Structures are given as structure tokens and as C-alpha cells.
Structure 1
Amino acid sequence: MSVRIGVLTSGGDAPGMNAAVRAVVRAGITAGVEVYGIYEGWQGAVDGGRFIRPMSWEDVSGIMIQGGTVIGTARCAAFRTPEGRRTAVLNLILAGIDRLVVIGGDGSLTGTDVLRDEWPDHIDALVAWGQITAQDAAEHPTLRVAGLVGSIDNDMVGTDMTIGTDSALHRITEAIDAIASTAASHQRSFVVEVMGRHCGYLALMSAIAGGADYAFIPERPPAADWHEHMATVLRRARNAGRRSSIVVVAEGAADREGNPITADAVRKVLADEMGEDARVTILGHVQRGGVPSAYDRWMASMVGCAAVDEVLYGDREPQVIGVRANRPHAMSLLEAVKDTKAVATSIAEGRYEEAMAARGHSFVQMAHVFQRLSEARPNVVREASAKRIGVMNVGGLAPGMNPTARAVVRLGVDQGHDMVGIQGGFPGLIEGDLRDLTWGDVEGWEAAAGANLGTRRSIPGDGDLYAVARSIETHELDGIVIIGGFQAYRALSRINAERKRFPALSIPIVVLPASLDNNLPGLQMAVGADSALNVDVQAVDRIKQSATASKRAFVVETMGRRCGFLALTTGVAAGAERVYLNEDGITIADLKHDVDAMVRAFGRGQNFWLSIRNENASEFYTTDLLTRMFEAEGQGGFSVRGAVLGHVQQGGVPSPFDRINGVRFAASVIDWMSAQFETHSAQHTFATPEGMRSVKELDDLVDWHARRPIDQWWLVLKPVLEALGRRPGDADA
């Protein structure tokens, strides 16, 4: 009997589970093994029969766009008993399965580990009772397990994100954006309750992304007099001109005495102590539903492939496959579950610092940043030593520039600086198009598309540097924050090289990374890249739907210049068969291989074929040429269409991640700038998640000709695409 892998989803459903199931099925088939779906979770394992059945390549076609889980999930009381687990073992062995990929929360993974530990005892009992043969027992002596965490709460310790969290954050942020507009219209307060019994991730991050005024999370409960502090913060914002107030409450929030803080309790405080006409919105299970985000698709695909490798080739205790720095990260299932449950215990026992620390550095950092933003003073008495900081955008438009600028301004004002908006990049600086920005001037920017400060791609040439220096002197700028992409880094390098000729350039200058191409050094994601990726994936979803009535291939062109981030991640998240990258180039041999595979696939009955092309993948093999070539080679068996997504990728409301990422960078940039003033330094740096790096390091990190970083982390997705995009043997002669 060949090797067989079982895959099941258990516990609460989460968007992205289907992408993980698809990855397990196709990666398993690519590896030459059989994959069985265990339907309705552990209940299906206990019931056996039709609930355990083989899954083919086609069975998982088109499921990534769907929310929930197509193989179902259910609570199973029987599985909690030894007798129920023994029945599950019997059914698995009868199906020839001794390797499992389980997608679920900590409860599901705990039950899985119990089953693995009991497996040999159940085998012995089943042999003794004559329910399986000695040969069956010899062929399946142990159970190999890999876990994938499907949980919208992002509550598993040891992984950056869990499957479904990003999608849930999209649902919540969309709701807060909608609520904010009606709240402002009526000058009304809203209390929004989100999921998170023991984990405040969704509440905290949605409060940051949605520009909320206040938030309650389980890991950091307020004192018993929290209502007085909340009222003070909200009144301050109202007095500064804010027309509404939004408070986000995690369902598990409580004060330090253990008293629950419910959405209705917050509403009552707003009504009684502030006279606010407050309304409550409980989002409930809408957070679990809907189309998965781009991140939840490509991340789930990546870890799903890694889980197959683990159960096929791993020889160690059961592992949970999580993600660290956008790469698969394996960790002990037993330790991960233990550490996760310990957080709830720490909260219950009042050890809140331990609970916060267990959530990780990023969580702690963002909790602190949100508190700073929430309590940022709209009006600060100007000190004689106050510094003037210019803020500008440089380069192509990147979604998220506005929320980033908002955070820079408000945090700068709170630290006593005078914030100056430079309109239209370096040309605006040269022309003197500057204006002072107050706390209220950036109200509403947290969800605004575009760039309210404008942006220009042009950077100072040799003849412009004198004018830049003169404008800095004229407007008495003490520092500059540049929000931008590759052109901003070029400008920083040029300014740094000429600072001795123009002493006015010797002020602290920092570039905060914002680029939909994600082609910037020293980071995982630039502000704007996630928004553009979601636009691309949503566009491809619609393209797929348009082709359901006929046999059709599409060649879709994304932005990215010579950087393949958008093309490759879109290809994985949208289920492309082929992606063309500048990093690889295109040859006629490649195209012949692809045409053969395409003709073979359509001849076998496939109705759709998707190719993604990075806009500068090849100077000669353009999107139009590929479209016409594929059409000609199809010889009427299928039609081919091209689609250039173009500047639609720059538009739209910034995604939750881009808003959060922008705020994170803004806080570190303002702190760095204040430190520069205190130490009388004048460094030129660029921001990374690990801190500021000197402009002098750029030559070692950047391929200036190709306009991309030398280290491109997203290339780890190439084998994922190859494993999932094309059935083995499709291009064989």
C-alpha cells in the first residue's frame, strides 16, 4: 500500500483553511503520495466510511476563494474518550492512513497529540480484538502528525500569525471604517465588540487600523477606575475637533479585579459620565466569514506544503508549522499548546506582564504604540527648544501613506515637535510648498486612500541640492521624515553624499519604507505592498469568475518593475499555474514547456489556466505577445485573454496590515528623531523592523540597477507555486 496522508479541519472555522487543505492535497500528490480528506473533523474520523475518502487534484480546484472549510468541522464528544479515539484509529488504519495534517486551534491540536501518544496502545488492543491484522499493525506502528493553526484570534504562542487572523482583521476594520463614517455624521460614540476571549490581538490591531480612541484587551486590563481615564482621553479628542469616538472591546476584557468589561458596560459609562449617545456593535461570527485575504491564502499555502514535508520526511515529536518572518517555522506541538494555555492561566492569576511577554515583542510594542496614539496630546505647550520636522512622500503612490503620515504627525506633536507637511515631495520642498500640521489636520487619514501630502517620483539632481538646502534653511527644518519607495532611498543616498558641500543637509533625515513593489532593503513588507497584493488577488478572483462559462487562459500583468514580489505572491494566493518573473527571465524553451502543459491541461478537461507576469519580466516577451502566442498554439481549443492591472493597484483603501505597519514604523521613526535632537546628531538612515540603519549600508543591501533588495525573502514561495500550480506530468511529452 502506498503512503497515505489524512487532512482534517477541526474546531472553529477560519478563512484560509481551504488554502491549507488545497496545499496539503496538491503537495502530497506532487510528492507521489495519496491524500485523504477526513470530513467533519474528528467526528469524521470516528464515524469512518464515507467521511474518509481520497482527494484528487480537481477536488481542491477553486476552493481558495471560499471562506470556512470545504471538508467541514464539527465538535466530537466521542473523540474525547479513549473508546472514541480507538475507533478513530481503527478507521484510519482501515483507510491506510498513519500520517495526519490537522488544521485547527489549540484544543484540536491537543486532542491530536493525545491520539498520537495512545496510538501504539490502541493498535495492540485492535489486534487483540481481531479488528486489524498483525500486518496492519506492522505497517502502521506510529502516527506522524503536523499541526497548522487555524484560529482567527492569533492566540498560538510561537507563531507570528495564525490562519484566518488577517482575514478577520479585514472584516473588523471594514466594519470600523463603516461605523466611523456614520458616527462622525451624527457626532456619536460607538462601542465595537470583537472576538478574543483570552487574546487581545484582534481588538488591539483593529483599534490601531481603524483609528479607534480606546481599546480593552485581556492581557492588559485597566484599573478599577478605568472609566475615568477613558472619559478623559475621549473628551480630549472631542475638544480637539474629533466628531466621534470609537472604543474597541475584546470579548474577554476585564479589569484588574477580574470584573468583566463588556461592550454594554462601556456604553453605559459613555452615556452616564460623558452624556454620549453611544451605540454598541457586536460583530460576532461575521469575523469568521467571508473571502480569505491574500495573506491568509499564500501563508496557508506555504505552511501547508511545509506540513506535508514534515509528515513525510520528519522524524521527531509532533510539530506545529507556524510562520516567522514570512517563512515556515516548526515548533513542538506539545510545547506550543502548553505555552498558549499558560497565557490564559497568567491572565486568570493576574500575572499580566507574563501574559503580555508571551504574546511576543511585536504585540507588546504595538500595545505601547496604541496607548501613545490614544493618549497623544492634541495641544502641547511649545517649548523654546521645540524642533521642526518636515514630513513628505517621495516616489510612487503607496496605499498606507496617509495613515503613516497621520501617526508621524500625532506622535511628533505629542513629543513637543512642530510638524510640517511638505506638499508634493522634493519639488514641493524646493518651491516652498510647506504648511504646519496640527493634531486635527490629520483627522480621518487612518483610512484614507491616496496621499494627502501628494507624492512625486522626481528626486534632486546635482543642480537641485542647493535649492533643497536653501529651503531647509528658509523654513528652519531640523529634521525630515521621508515616506517613500526606491526613489526615496536614492535621494537619501545622494543627499548624504553631498552633505559636506551643503551644510544645511546635515540634519537628521530618515526614510520610512512605503512601496507597493516591496522592493526595499532590510524588511519583510513595505507600507503599501499588502494593499496592492489584495487588489491583485481580488482582481484575479473576478477574472476567474468571468471565465467560468468557457475554456479560457489568462495572462495577468502586475506591477513591480524588476521585483517579483507582487507577481509571485499573487500567483500563490490566486492559484496560478505559472508566474513569470524578472528574476528568472523568459526563454522560448520556457514558453514551449508552458504551452505544452496548457494544451495538455485543457485537453484533459481543465477549463481555466492562469499565468501571472511581472511587468518587467522580459523586454521582448510582453503580455500581449504571450497572449497571442498562447492563443495561436491553442488552435481553437481554448481562448486566451490578457489583463494589465495597472494603476488600480495603487488605489483603494489601505489594508489593515499596511495601516498597522505604517504606525509601527512611525513610532520608531519619531523616537529615533527625538533621540537625534537630544544627542545633537544628524544621521541619515532608513527604517527597518529592527531599527534604523545607516544610509552607508545601502550599497551592500540593494541591487541599484534592478531596483530591488539583494535578499528577496518571497522567493521561498517559488517551490510552493511549483508544487501547487501544476499537476505532475502536465507538460510531459
Structure 2
Amino acid sequence: MHNGFEGLAKGQVQEVGWHDVAGWLGHGGSMLVTKRTLPKGYLESIVENICTYSIHALLAVGGFEAYKGVLQLVEAHRHYEELHRHVLGFDTALNATMEKCDHIKQSASGTKRRVFIMETMGGYCGYLATVTSIAVGADAAYIFEDPFNIHDLKANVEHMMEKMKMDMQRGLVLRNEKCHDHYTTEFLYNLYSSESKAVFDCRTNVLGHLQQHHIPTPSDRNYGTKLGVKAMLWVLEKLHEVYRKRRVFANAPHSACVISLKKAVAFSPITELKKDTDLEHCMQREQWWLSLRPMLKMLAHYCISMTA
């Protein structure tokens, strides 16, 4: 289906063979084209096309909108018998942020003392900003999950000034795009610039879609291939269980799952994940990676203690 759930509703369905997908593995972005449109407003058309094209299972590949879209289809089961299908989805990761930060830091070599304030994508989820900050040695990373106030910002600026007075030539601050309604990237730029007292100057950079459409790394290619194969084997196995007289009737919780790679590949019923999901902010309610935040401050030379 081209253009996601909207494409399914509009009949933008194409059968593909091996030759049609040749070379896709080495391209960034989506060759089928993606849209954030959710199925809720197209249910009648989606049901009609599921019948028209004899679709017995759906594999939804994407981010949080894919999860919400599949959840809407599952919740519509009781109204549409045709939606009693096997559905499965998984998320992919982007790896361009670190490269951009490295390029900016390298380009600043030899210049006067300068602080770069960079805005990353990620919605309300600060995973990308946090992990990138640790990898590139950023001085601070502002995220939604770790609330901060003006006193925290002031302390960060003072800490940056002390480091710049010594031997540092450049600093790097990351801000996740929805970390705060009022402390915007422009606000941070004005604050750092105003309080620097001419010790350093500031520059801003909004990465936006520069984080997307990069050539997939070997790790991402292997990860995507492994999940793709496992997903299709799972779909075929479940279809064998419920396919009778050329019909599929799958309404058990395990008929709509999210595939993930933990210690091993796991299939979790999407309805069971709902209680652990913050649908308003499009992320998990509990983030395991928040335990990495103290490491960021330690590497930025803050005086903190690391506890197990």
C-alpha cells in the first residue's frame, strides 16, 4: 500500500515481486511513501478495499502513528468483521543526528569560543537527544521526560562559562523539539547569548528532516531484515491457524502484535501495550534509557555521583 492507511483507503495497492524491490535495502526513507494519516476517518473505505483486494493480513512498518493506526483497526473489530485480520508493526531508528553534531563540532575547530544549540526531532520522546548527547560529548540535553526550569538553565550556562574560561573552544547543547512549550530553541539561544558575558558566542541549528533519508547503516539493515523475516513468518503461522474455507477470522489478542527485539525477538499483543503507552505524547509511560542521563552530566564534567 502506498501512502499508508490513507493509501489503503484509496485503493493505492500494488503487488510487488523481487525485481520491484531490488536495491531498496540501501536506500533511506520510504519507497512506498508514508503518511501520518490514521485510519479512523477512512474505516468504511479500508474495509471495502480489504475485501476488494482479498487482504488477509497487514504488516504496518513505521513509528508511533503506525502503532496508533493498528490500535484503531483492532478497536474497530467489533463493528467490522472484515477487520478480523492479522496485523503487526514495528519501529525503526534514525542515525543521522550524531553525524550532524560531529560535522558541526569539526567545522568549529579553530574558531573562537562558540556554543552550538541544536534542535533534534523525536516529538516528546527524548531518547534520540539523550543518546546522541552521550555519543558526541554534549554539554546538556533538554528533554520532555526530564523536567527543567529557569534555575536549571542558569546553572547550565554558568557551567558552560566556567569550562570556556579554561581550555574549551566549543560547546554543544541539544534540545528535543517538544521538550518545553516556552523554553524554545530561540529562547535558549537568547539566554546563552545574553548570559555568556562575551565569554562565548552562540549559533543554532534545527536539524529537522536532515535526520531522515540517510543510507541505512549495516546495523539498521540487519535489524530491519531480521524483523521483516520474523514478521512474515509470524503472519504465515497465524494465517495457517485461522484460515478456513478461504476466510480469515482472527479476533484474539495475539492476532494483532507489535514485534520488538529485546533479548530475543518478541511479539506483544497491541491491546496489552496500550496500558503502558502515553498516547497523548506518543511514547512509553516508562523509559528505560532515562537511567543514562547521569552519564551525560558526568561526561560534561558536572559534579555528580553515579549510583547503581
- Fold-level similarity (TM above 0.5): yes
Q: Is 1:468 matched up with 2:53?
A: no
State which of 270, 288, 294 in structure 2 corresponds to 1:719: 294
What is the alpha-carbon distance in structure 1 between the residues aligned to residue 69 and residue 79 of structure 2?
16
From the CA coordinates, give the structure whose radius of gyration is larger: 1
What is the alpha-carbon distance in structure 2 between the residues aligned to residue 720 and residue 478 of structure 1?
47
Cα contact 1:668–1:691 (8 A) shared by 2: no
Deviations 1:370-429 (A, max 9, x none): xxxxxxxxxxxxxxxxxxxxxxxxxxxxxxxxxxxxxxxxxxxxxxxxxxxx11111111
Identical aligned pairs, as a percentage? 31
What is the alpha-carbon distance in structure 2 between the residues aligned to residue 430 and residue 705 of structure 1?
25
Cα contact 1:555–1:623 (8 A) shared by 2: yes
Q: Is 1:636 matched up with 2:215?
A: no
State which of 596, 612, 635 in structure 1 corresponds to 2:158: 596
Corresponding residue SS for 1:464: helix
What is the alpha-carbon distance in structure 1 between the residues aligned to residue 290 and residue 303 of structure 2?
21
Amino acid at match of 2:130: L
Q: Is 1:624 matched up with 2:186?
A: yes
Please name the residue that 2:2 is paired with.
Answer: 423
What is the alpha-carbon distance in structure 2 between the residues aligned to residue 456 and residue 713 of structure 1?
29
Amino acid at match of 1:702: T
Cα contact 1:432–1:471 (8 A) shared by 2: yes
Please name the residue that 1:569 is paired with.
Answer: 131
Corresponding residue SS for 2:15: strand
Amino acid at match of 2:257: T
Please name the residue that 1:481 is paired with.
Answer: 59
Please name the residue that 2:273 is paired with.
Answer: 698
Deviations 1:205-264 (A, max 9, x none): xxxxxxxxxxxxxxxxxxxxxxxxxxxxxxxxxxxxxxxxxxxxxxxxxxxxxxxxxxxx
Cα contact 1:429–1:468 (8 A) shared by 2: yes
What is the alpha-carbon distance in structure 2 between the residues aligned to residue 441 and residue 651 of structure 1?
20
What is the alpha-carbon distance in structure 2 between the residues aligned to residue 496 and residue 688 of structure 1?
19
State which of 544, 557, 566 in structure 1 corresponds to 2:105: 544
Amino acid at match of 1:587: N
What is the alpha-carbon distance in structure 2 between the residues aligned to residue 447 and residue 698 of structure 1?
32
* 1:218-237 alignment runs, 5 A limit: none
Q: CA deviation at 1:430?
A: 1.0
Deviations 1:294-322 (A, max 9, x none): xxxxxxxxxxxxxxxxxxxxxxxxxxxxx
State which of 652, 664, 674 in structure 1 corresponds to 2:214: 652
Q: CA deviation at 1:716?
A: 2.5
* 1:260-339 alignment runs, 5 A limit: none
What is the alpha-carbon distance in structure 1 between the residues aligned to residue 260 and residue 105 of structure 2?
37
State which of 480, 499, 509 in structure 1 corresponds to 2:87: 509
Q: Which runs of 5+ in 1 are unaligned?
A: 1-421, 515-526
Please name the residue that 2:245 is paired with.
Answer: none
What is the alpha-carbon distance in structure 2 between the residues aligned to residue 699 and residue 482 of structure 1?
17
Please name the residue that 1:707 is paired with.
Answer: 282
Using CA pairs under 8 Å that are at least 6 residues apart, name the structure with larger relative contact order, 1 or 2. 2
* 1:488-527 alignment runs, 5 A limit: 488-511=66-89, 513-514=90-91, 527=92
Please name the residue that 1:454 is paired with.
Answer: 33
Corresponding residue SS for 1:617: coil
Corresponding residue SS for 1:631: helix
Corresponding residue SS for 2:173: strand
* 1:47-86 alignment runs, 5 A limit: none
Q: Is 1:665 matched up with 2:227?
A: yes
Cα contact 1:555–1:610 (8 A) shared by 2: yes
Cα contact 1:586–1:617 (8 A) shared by 2: no
Q: CA deviation at 1:638?
A: 1.0
Q: Which runs of 5+ in 2 are unaligned?
A: 243-248
The 4+ residue runs of structure 1 with deviation greater than 6 A are none
Amino acid at match of 2:17: T
Please name the residue that 1:386 is paired with.
Answer: none
Corresponding residue SS for 1:454: coil
Corresponding residue SS for 2:257: strand
RMSD between superposed Cα atoms in Å: 1.5
Number of corresponding residues: 290
What is the alpha-carbon distance in structure 2 between the residues aligned to residue 440 and residue 499 of structure 1?
35
What is the alpha-carbon distance in structure 2 between the residues aligned to residue 599 and residue 688 of structure 1?
43
Cα contact 1:558–1:646 (8 A) shared by 2: yes
Please name the residue that 2:256 is paired with.
Answer: 684
Amino acid at match of 1:565: Y
Q: CA deviation at 1:598?
A: 1.5
Q: CA deviation at 1:584?
A: 1.3
Q: CA deviation at 1:472?
A: 0.2
Amino acid at match of 2:86: P
Cα contact 1:449–1:654 (8 A) shared by 2: yes
What is the alpha-carbon distance in structure 2 between the residues aligned to residue 470 and residue 675 of structure 1?
25
Corresponding residue SS for 2:60: strand
Please name the residue that 2:13 is paired with.
Answer: 434
Q: CA deviation at 1:604?
A: 2.2
Amino acid at match of 2:38: I
* 1:570-589 alignment runs, 5 A limit: 570-589=132-151
Cα contact 2:139–2:300 (8 A) shared by 1: yes
Please name the residue that 1:246 is paired with.
Answer: none
Q: CA deviation at 1:709?
A: 1.2
Q: CA deviation at 1:727?
A: 4.8
